Amino acid sequence: MKITVNVAANTKTKQMLKSVLTGLALTLMCVNVQAAKPVKDSSLGLSKTSVNDSPAPEKFSYSNNFPGTGNLLPRAYLNAPPQIPHNIEAFLPVTAKSNNCKMCHDNRAMQGKKVKGQATAIPDSHYTDLRHAPGKVTTELIGARYVCTQCHVPQANVKPLVTNTFND
Ligand code: HEC
Ligand code: HEC
């Protein structure tokens, strides 16, 4: 009987010792990780200065090209929304009552053709409700494609904040 009690006590002590040691090891590991990798405030965010600074963003401007005077821009990848090669300030904002982009681009007769100096026609995909009726091309622009600038954006000649290595 006495032996059994002793063994039980022994196991309990061993378990306690084990958990204390594990705890200690974990604490040491944490201390180690923190000591090895301090995070500098200048490495947080995109500005690369102290988080207490409020640096002025670099000045940039969009192209002043009026539609019809510029060249088309290369696509970022296959089926990417084409970037806008002309200035759009005069045509914004796009509202429920007015969408100036449609004035030039909503031109079914020109679909599939690209003529220098002329607006590329909005493609069939924008007249198709891909969620509810895929395959059915309608005569009206689908709501999900109404706010053109949600997907199509003009470009400015600026240094990218983050280098992009994406390659299709
Ligand atoms: C006055 C007519 C006109 C208006 C308004 C207009 N565009 Fe354009 N757009 C053009 C022409 C012309 C081109 C062909 C490139 C060029 O010559 O600038 C073009 C090119 C584009 C392209 C590139 C197409 C391709 O094949 O790569 C996109 C995208 C575009 N416009 C989007 C827009 C959006 C979005 C708006 C509204 C904010 C808009 N455009 C308003 C005439 C217009
Ligand atoms: C939800 C995102 C989205 C919206 C909103 C959108 N487009 Fe697009 N657009 C695309 C994508 C993606 C493509 C390329 C794939 C395709 O042709 O469907 C494209 C292609 C185009 C093209 C090129 C057609 C060609 O033959 O090369 C034109 C022009 C265009 N869109 C104009 C517009 C205009 C004008 C509007 C607003 C009335 C608009 N888009 C709204 C995503 C969008």
Q: What is the pLDDT of residue 129?
A: 97
Q: What is the pLDDT of residue 26?
A: 53
Residue nearest atom 34 in ligand 1 by C-alpha distance? 101
CB-based contacts of 124: which residues, under 8 Å, 6+ apart? 111, 137
Greatest extent of the chain over all pairs of C-alpha atoms, in Å: 101
* 2 within a domain of the structure (yes/no): no
Q: What is the pLDDT of residue 22?
A: 62
How many angstroms separate the alpha carbon of residue 141 from the centre of ligand 1?
16
Q: What is the pLDDT of residue 49?
A: 82
For the CA of 114, the nearest atom of ligand 2:
26
**Lowest-pLDDT choice from 11-25, 75-89, 140-154:** 11-25
Q: In this structure, which amino acid lies at residue 48?
A: K
Q: What is the pLDDT of residue 160?
A: 82
* 116 within a domain of the structure (yes/no): yes
* 155 within a domain of the structure (yes/no): no
Q: What is the pLDDT of residue 31?
A: 53
* 144 within a domain of the structure (yes/no): yes
Question: How do residues 100-156 score in pLDDT, each as one tens digit?
Answer: 999 999 999 999 999 999 999 999 999 999 999 999 999 999 999 999 999 999 989
Calpha distance 168→161 (Å, rounded): 21
* pLDDT of 35 higher than 80: no
What pTM, to 2 d.p., does this model score? Answer: 0.80
Tokens standing for residue 48: 């690369």
* 17 within a domain of the structure (yes/no): no
Q: Is the CB of 121 under 6 A from ligand 1?
A: no
* 62 within a domain of the structure (yes/no): no
* 106 within a domain of the structure (yes/no): yes
For the CA of 112, the nearest atom of ligand 2:
26
Tokens standing for residue 108: 């079914």
For the CA of 117, the nearest atom of ligand 1:
17
Place 17 in a pLDDT band, splitting at 50, 70 and 90: low
Residue nearest atom 30 in ligand 2 by C-alpha distance? 122
Domain that holds residue 97: 89-150
Tokens standing for residue 53: 């600074």
**What is the phi/psi pair of residue 156, to 5°?**
-120, 150
Give the chain's domain count: 1
- Nearest ligand to the C-alpha atom of residue 113: 2
* pLDDT of 47 higher than 60: yes
Q: How many CA atoms lie within 13 A of 43 on its CB side?
A: 4
Q: How confident is the prediction for the chain on average, in pLDDT?
A: 84
Is 122 exposed, middle or buried, given 0-12, 13-18 or 19+ CB atoms closer than 10 A?
buried
Calpha distance 70→58 (Å, rounded): 25
Q: Is the CB of 147 under 6 A from ligand 2?
A: yes
How many angstroms separate the alpha carbon of residue 140 from the centre of ligand 2?
14
Q: Mean of the pLDDT values across residues 79-95?
A: 96
* 102 within a domain of the structure (yes/no): yes
